[in-house]
Amino acid sequence: MISYRKELWFDTTRRREFINITPEIERCLAESGIREGLLLCNAMHITASVFINDDESGLHQDFEVWLEKLAPEKPYAQYRHNGYEDNADAHLKRSVMGREVVVAVTGGKLDFGPWEQIFYGEFDGKRRKRVLVKIIGE
């Protein structure tokens, strides 16, 4: 069995962003040389997410509106956590969107369904953050 590990770093310019990281993940898979196995990709920060969905701008806007209804950023005083920082909403949004994805690798390719792409979701941005890519297989 082969094991591959890489960290991908992101510098976001806004507090909340969705970034399609599928091309970077595919490059990692090619670098690994693994043809059959499993790929794990997870956010290494508790205010960010990695998830699979469609790369459609209307859907991403819907995510933003829906998440803001579930866990509004302001007023900051509504959250106990915000006595230390102002990012309680980002922790909650990450909990909803998830920490990681696992994708089957078949024939050296990500074994996706139609329209599936991997996204990095940032909920407390404007600083350097990373995701872990771990691939195991043959």
Q: Given a cut of 90, is residue 95 above it in pLDDT?
A: yes
CATH of domain 2-137: 2.60.120.460
| Mean pLDDT confidence for 28-46 | 98
Residues in the chain: 138
Beta bridge pairs of residue 133: 6, 41
The Cα 107–Cα 22 span in angstroms is 17
Identity (one letter) of the amino acid at 88? A
Degrees, nearest 5: CA angle 95-127-9:
80
pTM of the model: 0.95
Per-residue pLDDT at 123 exceeds 90: yes
User: What is the Cα 39 distance to its own chain's centre?
Assistant: 14
Give yes or no for residue 8 having a pLDDT over 90.
yes
**Domain ranges, ordered by start, for the chain:** 2-137
Confidence category of residue 13, pLDDT binned at 50, 70, 90: very high
Give me the percent of the chain exceeding a pLDDT of 70. Answer: 100
Q: Within 13 Å and on the Cβ side, how many CA atoms surround 118?
A: 25
Grade residue 21 by pLDDT with cuts at 50, 70 and 90: very high
Q: Which residues pair with 4 in a beta bridge?
A: 135
Using CA atoms, how far residue 22 sits from 44, 63, 91, in Å, is: 17, 19, 24
Q: How does residue 84 score in pLDDT terms, banded at 50, 70 and 90?
A: confident
Predicted confidence band of residue 75 (pLDDT cuts 50, 70, 90): very high
